[in-house]
Structures are given as C-alpha cells and as structure tokens.
Amino acid sequence: MARPRKVAHGRGVSYEITYRVDGRMVRKRFPTLKLAEQALARAQVAALDGTYVFRGDARMTLAEYAPTWLASLRVEHNTMAGYRTYLKCQVLPHLGGRAMSSLRRSDINAFVGTLVNKGLAPRTVRHIYALLAMMLRSAVYDRLLTATPCYKINLPAIPPSKLSILTPEQVTALLREARPDHYAILALGVGTGMRQGEILGVRLRAVNFLRRELWVEAQAKTPAGGGAPVISERLKTPSSRRLLPLPAFVVDALAAHIEQYGTGEDGVLFTNPRGEVWRRGSFNDSVWKPALRRAGLPHEYGMHALRHTYASSLIAAGLHPKVIQARLGHKSIVETMDTYGHLFPEQLHETAAVLDDLYGRSTALAL
C-alpha cells in the first residue's frame, strides 16, 4: 500500500490513500495527513487478518444477503423449508431492511424480545435466533461484517419438559395389545430406543441376526413439499449412524415378522398396507394411537415415549452416561444429560462413603 498522496483542489488540500484488497482497488480522501495515515494503517491490518469490509458491501441488507446464504447451505430439504419459513415470517419482516453492518447487539436482543412477546414458544424463539446467528456469522466469513452482533443475547429459558416414560407393566400391555403385523415395530422401539423415522426406515441389510446387532443407517422421511415417503440415508446427525445391540426378544420378533410378512421394496422391513414406506402421520393414526387405546395408555403419548423409556431403563440399570449417549445417537453428552440428567440418582451419601473408604482410615491414623 502506497503512502498518502497530497492532492490540491479548489477547496484546499486533502490526502488520498489508494490500496488493493482481494483484487479490488480502493481510493479514499481525508482532510489531514494524520487521518489518512491512520485509515491506511487500519486498512493494512484488516487486509492482513481477513476482516476488511468494502464500503459497498457494508451497506448490504439482511434481505439482500439471505438468498446467497441459503444457496450456500447443504441441508435436508425439510430443514431448508423450515429455514425459509422462519426467514419469511419472522426474521426478514423485522430486520430484512437493515444493513447488516448497522445491526447491534441491542437490536438482536430487541428482536428476540419481540418474538417472546408474540407468544412464540421458547424453543421456537431459540431456533429462530440460531438461524439469524448462523446467517450473520456466515456474513463475517464472507467479509461483509467485521464481527457478529449475536453475542450474549438474552434468550428465553426452555422449561423442563415432562418425559413420557412407560412402566414395565405398561410396556407389557402395549406389546400384548399390538397387532401381529405391528408387534415387531413396537418391540424394536422398546428394545433399541430408535427414533420413529429410523425404525420405519430399517432395511433387512441393516440387521445381523447372528451377532444380534442392527446398524442404524437410514430413516423414513416425507418431503417437506409433499409426496410419497422415501428411505433416506441422511440421518439427523453423524452420530445418529450407530451400531445397536439387539435384545433376544427383538431378534425373535424381527425374524418372525420377516418370515410371516416378508419385506418391501429394497428390503424395507415395515410397510403400510399398500406395501409402501410408512408416512409418520399415517403410522401414528393407524398403528400407534390404536395400540395406546387398546393398552389403556395415555392417548397424548407420542412414539418417542419408547425412546424415553429405553433411556430410563438403561439409567436405572446403572449404565454409564457415555454408553447411553452412544445408544441414543446423541451428538454430545450434553444433549443426553440435558434430557435425562434428572433421572440419574443423586448418590449424595454414596459420595461421602467413597471418600471414607479411600481416605478415612489414613486420616484417622494421622490424627
């Protein structure tokens, strides 16, 4: 970058700096040499550390940037549909006309407050904020912003939800009341804690009967825009792809199901009466809810209750949290503990007993 150049003109003298960043030439003038030198020094530092923002880019609005950002994402079709809905209905109506460089932390806090005042659920507010934060962080990477304003934002707390957990007696009643062609589906949920989509997407190739194992490698999904459900090998997270041990009662149920009903296209184990992949809503209406009614169980329970029941059973048996995380396919132990941490025993007095066993005798001798 060249030093400031003195320029004489009709109004007096100014000092011009010129420099190139990312192949683009920038020229600016200042009334004093000191201001020009300071601006040049800042530009040099920003160009070196990758934080330089061109004046024209700094005026780009959130609405102008949104299409570019969405096009850069590699997410599931349903996820993209949700992002577009949040942008169209919540983010852009409030902040779309603002230049991204003009947004401050106070603006983001005010936006979150607006969502809360509209009566949106805390979890929904957090999802919308996360979308906005992702977009502004991407703008920093694209050198449209020097820093994101999404910093220490006051987000609404998510109240602890009451988990739907079945007792052993209720599980027995549910399996007893299952129709023969649906028994293996419910048994698989009880014995593995798999998500509903993962269960409905199981193919024969994923089951190893000799080793009594199942590889979670696909799920049943319905496109956001409608259409027939499909088997997708893109799971919720990378950690969702996991190997599960199968209890003997599940292995027996799967073997009996295949012998009696065969498999659908591509080896899908569980199909609807037309031999197609189950749509989750149709499955719930045709299979899950009727089974709850026949077993005398609360009708508001979703099939996720089997997943919660599986996790609580492992916790009651004293399995390590990391083992439970792996079986459930959670991306982190934090997710496991946030969901099920309250089910672990406090072991208050056991803590003191452990330390007494280790050190009590030696400290007594020292006294």
- Domain coordinates in residue numbering, the chain: 5-52, 62-141, 168-343
Exposure of 272 in the CB half-sphere (CA atoms within 13 A): 17
CATH of segment(s) 62-141: 1.10.150
Predicted pLDDT of residue 360:
73
CATH of domain 168-343: 1.10.443.10
Q: Taking 80 as the threshold, does the pLDDT of residue 52 lie above it?
A: no
Each as own residue / partner, the long-range contacts of residues 6-13 (CB below 8 Å, 24 or more positions apart, any chain) are 6/33
Residue 361 has a pLDDT of 62
The DSSP code for 103 is -
pLDDT tens string 177-195: 999 999 999 999 999 999 9
d(CA 65, CA 55): 15
Question: CA angle, 82 as apex, 76 and 83 as ends, to 5°?
Answer: 90
Question: CB–CB of 143/136 below 8 Å?
Answer: no
Instruction: Measure the CA angle with vertex 318, ends 314 and 324; round to 5°.
Output: 45
Higher pLDDT, 46 or 271: 271
107-153: pLDDT as tens digits: 999 999 999 999 999 999 999 999 999 999 998 888 778 789 998 99
pLDDT number for residue 25: 76
Which of the pair, 353 or 209, is modelled with greater confidence?
Answer: 209
pLDDT band at 262 (very low <50, low <70, confident <90, very high): very high
pLDDT, tens digit (0-9, with 9 covering 90-100), for 313-367: 999 888 999 999 999 999 899 888 888 887 887 766 777 777 778 777 665 555 5
Q: Is the pLDDT of residue 57 over 80?
A: no
What confidence score (pLDDT) does residue 237 get? Answer: 85
